[in-house]
Amino acid sequence: MPDYEKELILKQERVGQLLSGLVPVVEPIIGADDPYHYRNKVHAALGIERGRIVAGTYEPGTHKIIDGGGNGLENETAVEVINDIVKIATKYHMSIYNEKTGQGFLRRILVRTADATGQMLVVVVVTDHMFPGKKNFVKTLVGKHPEITSIVININKRTDSMILGDKSEVCYGPGFITDELLGKKFTISAESFYQINRKQAEKLYSKAIEYAALSKSNRVLDAYCGTGTIGICMSDHCSSVTGVELNPKAVSDAGHNIRKNNATNVKVIKADATKYMNENAASGMFDVVVLDPPREGTTPEFIKACAKISPSRIVYVSCNPETLARDLKLFAGEGYKAVNACPVDMFSGTEHVETVVLLSKGIDISAGKLRVEISVEDMDLSAAHGNASYNKIKKHVYEKTGLQVSNLNIAQIKRKYGIIERENYNLPKSENSKQPNCTPEKEKAIVAALQYFKMIG
């Protein structure tokens, strides 16, 4: 069994165990198509070892630099850029910052890449605004790596462990890059928050959108909204999105992203989310609440405030299943029961796992009462026709191959083999919706499942 498959099984088991008794359905984990070289933000500290410049990450719990520092997770081109900067620094005899003495010029390197657009931002952190030979440095670096679209010099004179200083100078390109998530464009600067793994972020956000089950009349509150990525990706599916964020830099970046995408139905407010919800509890302004808190999870005060505005659905995007389990118990105390959960492997090669959870008000399983709103178009009726249901097919494919397939994937193959779907079933909601083709590997697995269930010969 491949190591990555084992990793996914362990993460699935961990989430399942922590959410046992709290969530009736935990879906199979959504793994990565390629678990390597996904990190689009690569940082290297610099130092001197045995008379030569080294660059890499710190050994855990120490300030000893692991030269090369790569573990197979970083963008390969970004690592090459860092290695070439070390060569250039050696050639031009640039002094390297020493943490103990506070002396030296070249301090750190940060490389950010945009997977969808191919753009690359290089941030060189130095200790002084005077950069002798800066033009030659930039010319040499871009000559070696024409894929670089912007270079920023950041001045950091601090004596602590902060990576970036307060002042930056753009010396090549616009000073930022642009990437895409679910067709929306986002600007990434040296300081901006952006998902480390773009491809998995798209799967994470797609699952959140699926759970939100938005209609064009729904009003969404995006708590802990950061730079607005989730809310903007949801904006085409609902009436309005109100993002709430306390960090002023994130609010500024969110405003820029809103304008960039012409998302006129999205606004971001600089405020504490708990306070904002308490102040607007009586207004009935929101149908759906989305929250994506830090690893510490949310607070009892936030959960009580969320219950006061009484949304019909809550979508919780968690990066820590331990605090998620704690918070789900508190939500249950306010009348919101978890309906579904789905782990998403955002950070392969690490112990971390994201989980999306749908909570709904008015579900009382213990009393034998279940209130569910469901449209005919959302139902899987294949079992009623004597065939295996979509969920059975997905489960069979996952158990046999470890592959995650969607209803759309199955529908595409069923149509290809002449199994007629009812009109509009599993088709996108609009003509402009993207319909990704099923990969050959997934098609083979689905065909095998259809044969297993005797739906095709």
Q: What is the DSSP letter of 247?
A: -
The one catalytic residue among 233, 238, 306, 319 = 319
Q: Are 305 and 331 in contact (CB under 8 A)?
A: no
Phi-psi region of 160 (alpha: psi -120 to 50; beta: other; left: phi over 0): beta
Structure tokens at 18: 């922590």
Helices marked H in 244-367 — which ranges? 248-260, 273-279, 300-309, 321-333
Q: Which amino acid is at 356?
A: V
In whole angstroms, what is the distance from residue 230 CA to residue 237 CA? Answer: 12
E-only strand ranges, 325-379: 336-344, 354-361
Tokens in use for 340? 């579904």
Kindly give the residue spans of alpha helices, DSSP state H, lying in 92-133.
none
Dist. CA 237–CA 248, nearest whole Å: 27
Q: What is the DSSP letter of 432?
A: T
Give 284's contacts (C-beta < 8 A, 6+ positions apart).
Answer: 309, 310
**Token pair for 58:** 């710190």
For this structure, is 233 an active site residue? Answer: no
283-315 core/surface letters (b: 16 or more CB in 10 A; e: else): eeebbbbbbbbeeebbeeebbbbbbebebebbb
Q: State the catalytic residues.
A: 319
